[in-house]
Amino acid sequence: MGISGTPLLLFVVLLLVDSGVTQSDAQKAASDLFPDSVFQEAMSDSRGDNDTMCEVLLNKFSDSAAKFTHCANHFSRPIRMCRACKDLFLDVEKYFGALEHSEQRGINCRDLLTGQDKVEVIQETHAFIAGPEGLWAKAYCSECFTSPFNRTSTLTEDAITFFALFKTTQDCFAMYPNNSINKDSSQNKSEACYDCYNDYNDLLDFYRDIYFRSTITDDYQQSGICFDLLDAMNSTQLQWGAGYFRCGRTLKGSAPLISALLAVLTTPFLF
């Protein structure tokens, strides 16, 4: 009771030495008390002393943060960050947690985090990626995956269904790379509006029934919808509408309607 961190490790080592156990055996026994894979990595990649193991953990955190940032930028358009960068995000959390709670694993890296020259760099890096206002949280990435969110998490059944419908719709859209505008049509619509109608509406209906019905706003930061999914739906709607295929509703005979409306509005002034 009351023994934790480095004192606990020292206590274990002394106890084992008194029992005739070598230092390497003591380190192995200590690692068994802290079975976290991060601790074992630090032990294997360092000389075993406290400072070197902290440096190893810091390097691993820095590398994981850099890899995640690269991944997030690489999959920023179209947005696939949540699906493509999941394991890299978990690496960031793993190594930062190892630094933050290193004392519980028998090494003490507290000075690394509390040093005035490093605290803002390390903690702000973590906050930018994994904090409450970080990239992962802002994009609601965890909502794409089963709970609890960890290494074994997979896409939810709803997300799997959505992305399958999305792929079917995009495959249909891909058959009209040049927009295939019907020149004789007064509405100037693409043939995709007719040939892809069922696929697009199946996707839209599923999205509305499963996701959109529970949202109050279109702002993704307040919707709680995984941004991979939300961006896919938004881009598909843009393609379908004025952005590309021009499948949206159009008003026929708008000129006569406007003329009649103006005539009605000006009548009181004439009298």
Which ranges in 174-226 belong to alpha helices (H)? Answer: 192-195, 197-210, 220-223
Question: In the block, which residue shows the tokens 């019905």?
Answer: 213
What is the dihedral angle through the alpha carbons of 54, 59, 62, 65, rounded to the nearest 10 degrees?
-100
Mean pLDDT of 201-213: 91
Quote the distance between the C-alpha of residue 254 and its chain's center: 45
Secondary structure (DSSP) of 44-60: HTS-SSHHHHHHHHHHH
What integer best gives the mean pLDDT of the chain?
75
Instruction: Kindly report which listed range (4-18, 92-106, 128-142, 253-267) carries the lowest average pLDDT score.
Output: 4-18
For 67-79, how does the pLDDT look when each residue is reduced to its tens digit (9 = 90+)? Answer: 999 999 999 999 9
Q: Phi, psi (5° rounding) for residue 181?
A: -65, 135
User: What number is the average pLDDT over the span 200-209?
Assistant: 96
The answer to whether 143 and 226 have CB atoms below 8 angstroms apart is: yes
Which residues, including other chains, have CB under 8 Å from residue 224's CB and lie 6 or more apart? 140, 143, 214, 215
Secondary structure string (H, E, C) spanning 105-171: HCCCCHHHHHCCCCHHHHHHHHHHHHCCCCHHHHCCHHHHECCCCCCCCCECHHHHHHHHHHHHHHH
Q: Which residue has the tokens 């792929």?
A: 167
How many Å apart are CA 223 and CA 229, to the nearest integer? 12
Question: What value does the mean pLDDT take over residues 16-35?
Answer: 35
- Please report, rounded to a whole number, the percentage of residues in the chain having pLDDT higher than 70: 60
Tokens standing for residue 205: 């209906």
* pLDDT at 11 exceeding the cut of 70: no
Distance CA 63, CA 4 (A): 29
Comparing C-alpha atoms, which of 84, 88, 86 is closest to residue 75?
84
Do residues 113 and 99 lie in contact, with contact meaning Cβ atoms separated by under 8 Å? yes
Q: What is the mean pLDDT of residues 17-28?
A: 37
246 close to 189: Cβ distance less than 8 angstroms: yes
